Amino acid sequence: MAEAYDPNNVFAKILRGELPCKKVHETRHCLAFHDINPLAPIHVLVIPKGAYVSMEDFSAKASAEEQADFIQAIGETARIVGAVAGGYRILANSGANANQEVPHLHMHIFGGRYLGRMLKKEGE
């Protein structure tokens, strides 16, 4: 069973204007902003404005327009922050095993330096 959406999560509060963010890009269906605890020189988040917990939830319930807008917003945000030239990583955690901290779908865009391997091989 999928996790229920919590309307009081930090991203929902940002979308309602209750918490500030350093906005990078906004579309009809998405908002992109700088992460408050960056893990790389470029670290921004892209979130849908709808109440979706995960990619599974989003892919099952979001309209085709919302889904297309999300993908386009990720690409445009990467261009805006200058991540494209050197390469970048996109990442969305989903659920407890992936260490999802905020129960609102969000895509991280990391860049600005060498990022190394995504996962270590077992035993490393």
Show which residues are catalytic. Answer: 106
| CA end-to-end span of the chain | 33
User: CA 5, CA 8: separation in Å to the nearest integer?
Assistant: 9
The phi and psi torsions of 120 (rounded to 5 degrees) equal: -80, 145
Helix (H/G/I), strand (E/B), else coil: 96: helix
